[in-house]
Structure 1
Amino acid sequence: MTRSIRPDAVLVQAVIAGALSFAHLHDIAAAAGQDGWKAWAYPISVDLLLVAAWRRLRILRSTGGPIRAAWTWFAVALAASLGANVATAGLLELTNVPAWLRILVAGWPALAFLGGTLLVHTPADRETEHDPVEPVSVPASSAPEPDPAPEEIAAPDQPPAALPAAPAVNVPDALLSYARKVAAEHHTRTGAPIDIDTLRTRLGVPIPMADAIAAQLT
Protein backbone atom coordinates (compact mmCIF):
# COMPACT_ATOMS: atom_id res chain seq x y z
CA MET A 1 0.00 0.00 0.00
CA THR A 2 1.57 3.27 -1.12
CA ARG A 3 1.22 6.49 0.84
CA SER A 4 0.56 9.70 -1.00
CA ILE A 5 3.11 12.46 -0.49
CA ARG A 6 1.46 15.73 0.44
CA PRO A 7 3.41 19.00 0.43
CA ASP A 8 3.90 20.65 3.81
CA ALA A 9 3.58 24.45 3.67
CA VAL A 10 5.79 24.95 6.72
CA LEU A 11 8.52 22.72 5.25
CA VAL A 12 8.39 24.57 1.94
CA GLN A 13 8.70 27.91 3.76
CA ALA A 14 11.66 26.59 5.75
CA VAL A 15 13.44 25.48 2.56
CA ILE A 16 12.84 28.84 0.89
CA ALA A 17 13.97 30.83 3.94
CA GLY A 18 17.07 28.69 4.37
CA ALA A 19 18.05 28.96 0.71
CA LEU A 20 17.60 32.75 0.61
CA SER A 21 19.46 33.27 3.88
CA PHE A 22 22.26 30.99 2.64
CA ALA A 23 22.57 33.04 -0.57
CA HIS A 24 22.52 36.37 1.27
CA LEU A 25 25.27 35.28 3.64
CA HIS A 26 27.34 34.15 0.66
CA ASP A 27 26.84 37.52 -1.06
CA ILE A 28 27.88 39.47 2.04
CA ALA A 29 31.00 37.33 2.52
CA ALA A 30 31.95 37.69 -1.15
CA ALA A 31 31.43 41.46 -1.03
CA ALA A 32 33.65 41.65 2.10
CA GLY A 33 36.57 40.09 0.24
CA GLN A 34 36.02 36.37 0.96
CA ASP A 35 36.04 34.93 -2.53
CA GLY A 36 35.81 31.37 -3.84
CA TRP A 37 35.04 28.53 -1.44
CA LYS A 38 35.50 30.84 1.56
CA ALA A 39 32.35 32.77 0.68
CA TRP A 40 30.34 29.50 0.69
CA ALA A 41 31.80 28.44 4.04
CA TYR A 42 30.36 31.44 5.89
CA PRO A 43 26.64 30.56 5.54
CA ILE A 44 27.42 26.96 6.54
CA SER A 45 29.20 28.22 9.66
CA VAL A 46 26.29 30.50 10.62
CA ASP A 47 23.68 27.77 10.13
CA LEU A 48 25.72 25.20 12.08
CA LEU A 49 26.07 27.56 15.05
CA LEU A 50 22.33 28.28 14.92
CA VAL A 51 21.45 24.56 14.94
CA ALA A 52 24.02 23.75 17.66
CA ALA A 53 22.67 26.49 19.93
CA TRP A 54 19.06 25.33 19.42
CA ARG A 55 19.92 21.71 20.22
CA ARG A 56 21.82 22.82 23.31
CA LEU A 57 18.79 24.80 24.46
CA ARG A 58 16.57 21.71 24.21
CA ILE A 59 19.05 19.57 26.17
CA LEU A 60 19.46 22.16 28.94
CA ARG A 61 15.72 22.61 29.26
CA SER A 62 15.21 18.87 29.69
CA THR A 63 17.96 18.61 32.35
CA GLY A 64 17.15 21.86 34.16
CA GLY A 65 20.51 23.45 33.41
CA PRO A 66 21.22 27.18 32.81
CA ILE A 67 20.23 28.28 29.31
CA ARG A 68 21.53 31.87 29.24
CA ALA A 69 24.76 31.04 27.35
CA ALA A 70 22.92 28.91 24.78
CA TRP A 71 20.40 31.71 24.18
CA THR A 72 23.28 34.17 23.71
CA TRP A 73 24.94 32.12 20.96
CA PHE A 74 21.57 31.43 19.33
CA ALA A 75 20.93 35.20 19.21
CA VAL A 76 24.41 35.83 17.75
CA ALA A 77 23.88 33.34 14.91
CA LEU A 78 20.34 34.62 14.28
CA ALA A 79 21.60 38.22 14.17
CA ALA A 80 24.26 37.24 11.60
CA SER A 81 21.63 35.55 9.41
CA LEU A 82 19.06 38.35 9.68
CA GLY A 83 21.75 41.01 9.24
CA ALA A 84 22.82 39.48 5.93
CA ASN A 85 19.20 39.35 4.73
CA VAL A 86 18.64 43.02 5.58
CA ALA A 87 22.01 44.20 4.25
CA THR A 88 21.43 42.66 0.82
CA ALA A 89 18.05 44.40 0.51
CA GLY A 90 19.74 47.57 -0.76
CA LEU A 91 20.87 49.10 2.52
CA LEU A 92 24.53 48.44 1.69
CA GLU A 93 26.44 48.98 -1.50
CA LEU A 94 27.94 45.54 -2.05
CA THR A 95 30.59 46.93 -4.40
CA ASN A 96 31.93 49.14 -1.61
CA VAL A 97 31.24 47.61 1.80
CA PRO A 98 32.38 49.54 4.92
CA ALA A 99 35.47 48.56 6.86
CA TRP A 100 33.52 47.49 9.96
CA LEU A 101 31.64 44.89 7.92
CA ARG A 102 34.89 43.50 6.54
CA ILE A 103 36.17 43.21 10.13
CA LEU A 104 33.03 41.37 11.26
CA VAL A 105 33.17 38.95 8.36
CA ALA A 106 36.89 38.28 8.86
CA GLY A 107 36.42 37.65 12.60
CA TRP A 108 33.33 35.45 12.29
CA PRO A 109 35.14 32.05 11.96
CA ALA A 110 36.95 32.52 15.28
CA LEU A 111 33.74 33.71 16.98
CA ALA A 112 31.73 30.76 15.62
CA PHE A 113 34.42 28.29 16.73
CA LEU A 114 34.42 29.79 20.23
CA GLY A 115 30.64 29.58 20.44
CA GLY A 116 30.51 26.00 19.23
CA THR A 117 33.22 24.94 21.68
CA LEU A 118 31.45 26.56 24.64
CA LEU A 119 28.13 24.98 23.64
CA VAL A 120 29.58 21.47 23.45
CA HIS A 121 32.01 21.48 26.40
CA THR A 122 29.98 22.56 29.43
CA PRO A 123 29.67 21.07 32.94
CA ALA A 124 26.11 19.94 32.21
CA ASP A 125 27.49 17.28 29.83
CA ARG A 126 28.47 15.15 32.83
CA GLU A 127 24.81 14.35 33.40
CA THR A 128 24.04 13.51 29.78
CA GLU A 129 27.01 11.19 29.24
CA HIS A 130 25.07 8.31 30.78
CA ASP A 131 21.54 7.27 30.07
CA PRO A 132 19.24 8.76 32.71
CA VAL A 133 17.55 6.35 35.06
CA GLU A 134 13.82 6.14 34.61
CA PRO A 135 12.02 7.66 37.60
CA VAL A 136 10.79 4.99 39.98
CA SER A 137 7.33 5.51 41.37
CA VAL A 138 6.94 3.83 44.77
CA PRO A 139 3.66 4.04 46.71
CA ALA A 140 3.78 5.57 50.14
CA SER A 141 2.77 2.29 51.75
CA SER A 142 2.61 -1.08 50.04
CA ALA A 143 1.37 -3.04 53.06
CA PRO A 144 -2.41 -3.58 53.37
CA GLU A 145 -4.11 -1.89 56.24
CA PRO A 146 -4.98 -4.30 59.09
CA ASP A 147 -8.56 -4.84 60.13
CA PRO A 148 -9.57 -2.59 62.99
CA ALA A 149 -9.24 -4.35 66.34
CA PRO A 150 -11.90 -3.98 69.06
CA GLU A 151 -11.29 -1.13 71.44
CA GLU A 152 -9.49 -2.02 74.63
CA ILE A 153 -9.76 -0.18 77.92
CA ALA A 154 -6.26 0.78 79.06
CA ALA A 155 -5.38 0.81 82.72
CA PRO A 156 -4.90 4.28 84.29
CA ASP A 157 -1.17 3.74 84.76
CA GLN A 158 -0.61 2.05 81.38
CA PRO A 159 1.22 4.27 78.83
CA PRO A 160 -0.43 4.76 75.45
CA ALA A 161 0.57 2.31 72.77
CA ALA A 162 3.24 3.55 70.35
CA LEU A 163 2.28 4.16 66.76
CA PRO A 164 3.58 1.59 64.29
CA ALA A 165 6.71 2.68 62.42
CA ALA A 166 6.31 3.67 58.79
CA PRO A 167 7.49 1.02 56.35
CA ALA A 168 11.01 1.60 55.04
CA VAL A 169 11.32 2.67 51.40
CA ASN A 170 13.76 0.59 49.39
CA VAL A 171 15.89 2.81 47.12
CA PRO A 172 17.29 1.05 44.02
CA ASP A 173 21.06 1.31 43.65
CA ALA A 174 20.78 2.77 40.13
CA LEU A 175 18.42 5.52 41.32
CA LEU A 176 20.67 6.32 44.30
CA SER A 177 23.71 6.57 42.01
CA TYR A 178 21.88 8.91 39.67
CA ALA A 179 20.70 11.00 42.65
CA ARG A 180 24.31 11.43 43.79
CA LYS A 181 25.23 12.76 40.31
CA VAL A 182 22.32 15.20 40.36
CA ALA A 183 23.25 16.41 43.86
CA ALA A 184 26.91 16.83 42.91
CA GLU A 185 26.00 18.81 39.78
CA HIS A 186 23.66 21.04 41.79
CA HIS A 187 26.37 21.70 44.42
CA THR A 188 28.94 22.53 41.71
CA ARG A 189 26.55 24.89 39.93
CA THR A 190 25.02 26.67 42.94
CA GLY A 191 27.56 26.12 45.72
CA ALA A 192 24.85 24.83 48.07
CA PRO A 193 23.56 21.32 48.87
CA ILE A 194 20.48 20.26 46.97
CA ASP A 195 17.20 20.52 48.86
CA ILE A 196 14.56 17.79 48.99
CA ASP A 197 12.04 19.63 46.77
CA THR A 198 14.61 20.17 44.00
CA LEU A 199 15.81 16.56 44.31
CA ARG A 200 12.27 15.23 44.09
CA THR A 201 11.51 17.38 41.02
CA ARG A 202 14.72 16.38 39.21
CA LEU A 203 14.24 12.67 39.90
CA GLY A 204 10.47 12.57 39.49
CA VAL A 205 9.88 10.48 42.61
CA PRO A 206 7.28 10.82 45.39
CA ILE A 207 8.02 12.47 48.74
CA PRO A 208 8.73 9.25 50.73
CA MET A 209 11.25 8.11 48.13
CA ALA A 210 12.88 11.59 48.04
CA ASP A 211 13.20 11.57 51.84
CA ALA A 212 14.81 8.13 51.76
CA ILE A 213 17.27 9.21 49.07
CA ALA A 214 18.14 12.46 50.90
CA ALA A 215 18.83 10.48 54.08
CA GLN A 216 21.39 8.35 52.23
CA LEU A 217 23.01 11.35 50.50
CA THR A 218 23.90 13.09 53.79
Structure 2
Amino acid sequence: MNPDFWLERWQRGETGWHRDEINRHLCEFWPQLGLPTGTRVLVPLCGKTTDLLWLASRGDRVLGVELSQLAVDAFFAENGLNPTVTQVSGFSRYRVDEIEVLCGDFFDLPAALLDDIGAVYDRAALIALPPDLRLRYAAHLDTLLPARVPHLLITLEYDQALRSGPPFSVHTQEIAQLFGQRYRLSVLAQLDVLDESPGWRQQGLTELVERVYRLDPDMVLA
Protein backbone atom coordinates (compact mmCIF):
# COMPACT_ATOMS: atom_id res chain seq x y z
CA MET A 1 0.00 0.00 0.00
CA ASN A 2 1.69 3.19 -1.19
CA PRO A 3 0.72 6.86 -0.75
CA ASP A 4 -1.01 6.95 -4.14
CA PHE A 5 -3.63 4.54 -2.79
CA TRP A 6 -4.82 7.11 -0.26
CA LEU A 7 -4.47 10.09 -2.57
CA GLU A 8 -6.66 8.34 -5.14
CA ARG A 9 -9.25 7.48 -2.48
CA TRP A 10 -9.55 11.14 -1.57
CA GLN A 11 -9.71 12.16 -5.23
CA ARG A 12 -12.53 9.68 -5.87
CA GLY A 13 -14.36 10.67 -2.70
CA GLU A 14 -14.04 7.14 -1.29
CA THR A 15 -13.64 8.24 2.31
CA GLY A 16 -15.99 5.96 4.22
CA TRP A 17 -13.78 6.22 7.31
CA HIS A 18 -14.58 9.93 7.71
CA ARG A 19 -17.18 10.93 10.27
CA ASP A 20 -18.75 14.38 10.47
CA GLU A 21 -19.47 14.04 14.19
CA ILE A 22 -16.94 14.25 17.01
CA ASN A 23 -15.79 10.79 18.07
CA ARG A 24 -17.74 9.68 21.14
CA HIS A 25 -14.75 7.92 22.68
CA LEU A 26 -12.64 11.04 22.38
CA CYS A 27 -15.27 13.04 24.27
CA GLU A 28 -15.63 10.41 26.98
CA PHE A 29 -12.06 9.32 27.58
CA TRP A 30 -9.75 12.18 26.58
CA PRO A 31 -10.47 14.17 29.77
CA GLN A 32 -9.42 11.10 31.80
CA LEU A 33 -5.84 11.52 30.59
CA GLY A 34 -5.61 14.53 32.90
CA LEU A 35 -3.49 16.57 30.53
CA PRO A 36 -2.70 20.19 31.38
CA THR A 37 -4.33 22.94 29.37
CA GLY A 38 -2.25 23.80 26.33
CA THR A 39 -0.91 20.29 25.76
CA ARG A 40 0.27 19.82 22.19
CA VAL A 41 -1.51 16.78 20.73
CA LEU A 42 -0.34 14.76 17.75
CA VAL A 43 -3.12 13.40 15.50
CA PRO A 44 -1.52 11.16 12.84
CA LEU A 45 -3.28 10.55 9.51
CA CYS A 46 -5.95 13.02 10.57
CA GLY A 47 -7.86 13.39 7.30
CA LYS A 48 -10.41 16.15 7.75
CA THR A 49 -11.72 15.01 11.11
CA THR A 50 -13.59 17.52 13.23
CA ASP A 51 -11.98 15.88 16.25
CA LEU A 52 -9.24 18.48 15.73
CA LEU A 53 -11.77 21.22 16.50
CA TRP A 54 -12.93 19.48 19.68
CA LEU A 55 -9.39 19.12 20.97
CA ALA A 56 -8.65 22.78 20.22
CA SER A 57 -11.89 23.85 21.93
CA ARG A 58 -10.54 22.35 25.16
CA GLY A 59 -7.43 24.49 24.95
CA ASP A 60 -5.17 21.81 23.50
CA ARG A 61 -2.69 22.75 20.77
CA VAL A 62 -3.37 20.35 17.93
CA LEU A 63 -0.89 19.02 15.37
CA GLY A 64 -2.51 16.93 12.64
CA VAL A 65 -0.52 15.14 9.97
CA GLU A 66 -2.23 14.26 6.69
CA LEU A 67 -0.99 13.05 3.32
CA SER A 68 -3.80 14.40 1.14
CA GLN A 69 -3.89 18.10 0.37
CA LEU A 70 -7.52 17.63 -0.69
CA ALA A 71 -8.34 16.49 2.84
CA VAL A 72 -6.41 19.33 4.46
CA ASP A 73 -7.98 21.98 2.24
CA ALA A 74 -11.43 20.48 2.88
CA PHE A 75 -10.95 20.55 6.65
CA PHE A 76 -10.22 24.26 6.74
CA ALA A 77 -12.77 25.22 4.08
CA GLU A 78 -15.64 23.18 5.55
CA ASN A 79 -15.04 24.67 8.99
CA GLY A 80 -14.72 28.26 7.80
CA LEU A 81 -11.08 28.56 8.80
CA ASN A 82 -8.51 30.64 6.94
CA PRO A 83 -5.07 29.21 7.74
CA THR A 84 -1.64 30.64 7.14
CA VAL A 85 0.32 28.26 4.89
CA THR A 86 4.11 27.97 5.00
CA GLN A 87 6.68 25.33 4.08
CA VAL A 88 8.77 23.46 6.64
CA SER A 89 10.94 20.34 6.32
CA GLY A 90 9.21 19.26 3.11
CA PHE A 91 5.69 19.69 4.54
CA SER A 92 3.05 22.34 3.89
CA ARG A 93 2.19 23.76 7.30
CA TYR A 94 -1.37 25.07 7.78
CA ARG A 95 -1.95 27.14 10.90
CA VAL A 96 -4.91 28.87 12.47
CA ASP A 97 -5.23 29.60 16.19
CA GLU A 98 -4.60 26.38 18.16
CA ILE A 99 -4.73 24.11 15.11
CA GLU A 100 -1.78 23.16 12.93
CA VAL A 101 -1.84 20.57 10.15
CA LEU A 102 1.24 19.31 8.33
CA CYS A 103 0.46 18.09 4.83
CA GLY A 104 2.84 15.33 3.75
CA ASP A 105 3.83 11.72 4.36
CA PHE A 106 3.78 10.83 8.06
CA PHE A 107 6.76 8.53 7.55
CA ASP A 108 8.83 11.52 6.40
CA LEU A 109 7.99 13.52 9.53
CA PRO A 110 11.12 14.70 11.37
CA ALA A 111 11.33 14.63 15.15
CA ALA A 112 12.32 18.32 15.19
CA LEU A 113 8.70 19.27 14.44
CA LEU A 114 7.37 17.33 17.45
CA ASP A 115 9.71 18.38 20.23
CA ASP A 116 6.92 19.45 22.59
CA ILE A 117 4.21 16.88 21.84
CA GLY A 118 2.47 15.87 25.08
CA ALA A 119 -0.08 13.30 23.87
CA VAL A 120 -1.22 11.29 20.84
CA TYR A 121 -4.77 10.70 19.59
CA ASP A 122 -5.12 7.87 17.05
CA ARG A 123 -8.61 7.06 15.83
CA ALA A 124 -7.90 5.97 12.27
CA ALA A 125 -4.15 5.86 11.73
CA LEU A 126 -2.99 2.44 12.95
CA ILE A 127 -6.04 0.64 11.53
CA ALA A 128 -5.49 2.30 8.15
CA LEU A 129 -2.21 0.46 7.71
CA PRO A 130 -1.42 -3.15 6.72
CA PRO A 131 0.74 -5.22 9.11
CA ASP A 132 4.16 -4.25 7.73
CA LEU A 133 3.33 -0.56 7.87
CA ARG A 134 1.91 -0.88 11.37
CA LEU A 135 5.32 -2.06 12.51
CA ARG A 136 6.92 0.87 10.72
CA TYR A 137 4.35 3.28 12.16
CA ALA A 138 5.01 2.20 15.75
CA ALA A 139 8.77 2.36 15.22
CA HIS A 140 8.53 5.84 13.69
CA LEU A 141 6.39 7.06 16.60
CA ASP A 142 9.02 5.73 18.95
CA THR A 143 11.67 7.72 17.10
CA LEU A 144 9.56 10.86 17.02
CA LEU A 145 8.54 10.70 20.69
CA PRO A 146 11.44 9.17 22.63
CA ALA A 147 10.23 10.72 25.90
CA ARG A 148 6.94 8.75 25.71
CA VAL A 149 3.56 10.46 26.06
CA PRO A 150 0.00 9.22 26.75
CA HIS A 151 -1.97 7.87 23.80
CA LEU A 152 -5.68 7.40 23.20
CA LEU A 153 -5.91 4.67 20.56
CA ILE A 154 -9.07 3.34 18.89
CA THR A 155 -9.03 0.08 16.92
CA LEU A 156 -11.36 -2.33 15.14
CA GLU A 157 -11.35 -6.12 15.34
CA TYR A 158 -13.15 -8.46 12.92
CA ASP A 159 -12.54 -11.59 10.86
CA GLN A 160 -10.02 -10.37 8.30
CA ALA A 161 -10.75 -13.45 6.16
CA LEU A 162 -14.22 -12.04 5.47
CA ARG A 163 -13.12 -8.52 4.63
CA SER A 164 -9.80 -7.13 3.46
CA GLY A 165 -8.95 -3.72 4.87
CA PRO A 166 -8.63 -0.87 5.16
CA PRO A 167 -9.60 -0.26 7.86
CA PHE A 168 -7.75 -3.31 9.07
CA SER A 169 -8.44 -5.57 12.02
CA VAL A 170 -5.88 -5.02 14.78
CA HIS A 171 -6.10 -7.36 17.75
CA THR A 172 -5.06 -6.76 21.34
CA GLN A 173 -2.11 -9.12 21.01
CA GLU A 174 -0.69 -6.99 18.22
CA ILE A 175 -1.18 -3.79 20.21
CA ALA A 176 0.83 -5.40 23.02
CA GLN A 177 3.56 -6.41 20.57
CA LEU A 178 3.74 -2.92 19.06
CA PHE A 179 3.57 -0.85 22.23
CA GLY A 180 3.66 -3.08 25.31
CA GLN A 181 7.40 -2.84 25.93
CA ARG A 182 7.22 0.94 26.15
CA TYR A 183 3.74 1.63 27.52
CA ARG A 184 1.29 0.31 30.05
CA LEU A 185 -1.84 -0.66 28.11
CA SER A 186 -5.36 -0.25 29.47
CA VAL A 187 -8.60 -1.16 27.67
CA LEU A 188 -11.07 1.63 28.36
CA ALA A 189 -13.98 0.34 26.28
CA GLN A 190 -15.00 -2.56 24.07
CA LEU A 191 -18.14 -2.40 21.95
CA ASP A 192 -19.73 -4.52 19.23
CA VAL A 193 -20.54 -1.89 16.58
CA LEU A 194 -21.69 -4.14 13.74
CA ASP A 195 -25.22 -2.73 13.87
CA GLU A 196 -23.72 0.69 13.17
CA SER A 197 -22.06 -0.64 9.99
CA PRO A 198 -24.72 -2.50 7.98
CA GLY A 199 -22.51 -2.62 4.91
CA TRP A 200 -19.99 -4.71 6.83
CA ARG A 201 -22.71 -7.16 7.88
CA GLN A 202 -23.65 -7.54 4.21
CA GLN A 203 -20.05 -8.59 3.57
CA GLY A 204 -20.53 -11.53 5.91
CA LEU A 205 -19.21 -10.18 9.20
CA THR A 206 -20.92 -11.43 12.33
CA GLU A 207 -18.89 -9.31 14.77
CA LEU A 208 -17.19 -5.95 14.61
CA VAL A 209 -15.50 -4.88 17.83
CA GLU A 210 -14.36 -1.34 18.48
CA ARG A 211 -11.79 -1.14 21.26
CA VAL A 212 -10.40 1.92 23.01
CA TYR A 213 -6.95 1.81 24.57
CA ARG A 214 -5.05 4.12 26.83
CA LEU A 215 -1.28 3.88 26.48
CA ASP A 216 0.47 5.25 29.52
CA PRO A 217 4.20 5.89 29.90
CA ASP A 218 4.17 6.09 33.68
CA MET A 219 4.72 2.41 34.42
CA VAL A 220 7.00 1.33 31.60
CA LEU A 221 9.18 -1.69 32.30
CA ALA A 222 12.89 -1.23 31.70
TM-score, length-scaled by structure 1: 0.22
Q: Which structure shows the higher helix fraction?
A: 1
TM-score, length-scaled by structure 2: 0.22
Q: Which structure shows the higher strand fraction?
A: 2
- When Rg is computed on C-alpha atoms for both structures, the one with the higher figure is 1
Of structures 1 and 2, the one with the larger relative CO (CA 8 A, separation 6+) is 1
